[in-house]
A and B are shown apart, each in its own frame.
Chain A
Amino acid sequence: QVQLVESGGGVVQSGRSLRLSCAASGFTLYSHGMHWVRQAPGKGLEWVAIIWYDGSNRNYSESVRGRFTISRDTSRNTLYLQMNNLRAEDTAVYYCARDGGTELDYWGQGTLVTVSS
């Protein structure tokens, strides 16, 4: 069955970097696009980034463009989110989610990133 497991979250100082991982199983990353979605404490869902199924294109929300980079390692079947120059407003639970073509059909359990000033 499809499973997504995020890791790499933690407490980091403002301005520093962090890399999140999302290990996928039950399917291969080169058959599906993948997203990162975040949720600040007590708030709603905010889309962050997408990498297309073939890795040919990536897109980002305005709030993270130029600071965050989405990538993948198909040999490890793992998705990544490199987060640089972190700000307090980046504090959130970060979810990876599989692109189902017209929706996000499977989600990981999330990993919490806390940016301290």
Chain B
Amino acid sequence: EIVLTQSPGTLSLSPGERATLSCRASQSVSSSYLAWYQQKPGQAPRLLIYGASSRAPGIPDRFSGSGSGTDFTLTISRLEPEDFAVYYCHQYGSPYTFGQGTKLEIK
């Protein structure tokens, strides 16, 4: 089983700042099979990024994904108030696994 470790656990930033979230895999993951999701309190997760770097339909271009092998990054270029949430990385492959999440909170 591929274990995904996200860092930091909590990130405190202000609107307008840049956010960088990390996801490290215990073994190499095909870039095609790495996704990122956003979850707000009381809501279902929402797909942001698939294939490590492709934005899902309707996702603003301030969200970008990068990386390969065992190291992947989600970047939010300029934080908007609605971006404060929990973010999960996910590797698509049986068994399917998720990182433990990074909470992005307002500073």
Contact = CB atoms under 8 A, between A and B. Distances in A.
Interface in B66-106: 88, 90, 92, 94-101
Interface of A: 35, 37, 44-47, 50, 59, 61-62, 95, 100, 102-110
B44 A47 contact: no
Interface of B: 32-33, 35, 37, 39, 43-47, 50-51, 56, 88, 90, 92, 94-101
Given A103-B92, A110-B44, 13 more contacts: A35-B96, A45-B45, A46-B98, A59-B95, A62-B95, A102-B35, A102-B50, A103-B33, A103-B90, A104-B90, A106-B47, A107-B44, A107-B46
A71 B32 CA distance: 27
**How would you classify the secondary structure of chain A's contact residues: helix, strand, loop or mixed?**
strand
Contacts of A104: 35, 37, 45, 47, 90, 92
Which of B39, B97, B98, B100 has the largest number of chain A CB atoms within 10 A?
A: B98
Pick the 8 closest A-B CB pairs, nearest first: A103-B35, A103-B50, A47-B96, A107-B44, A45-B98, A44-B101, A44-B100, A105-B47
A99 to B, nearest CB: 8
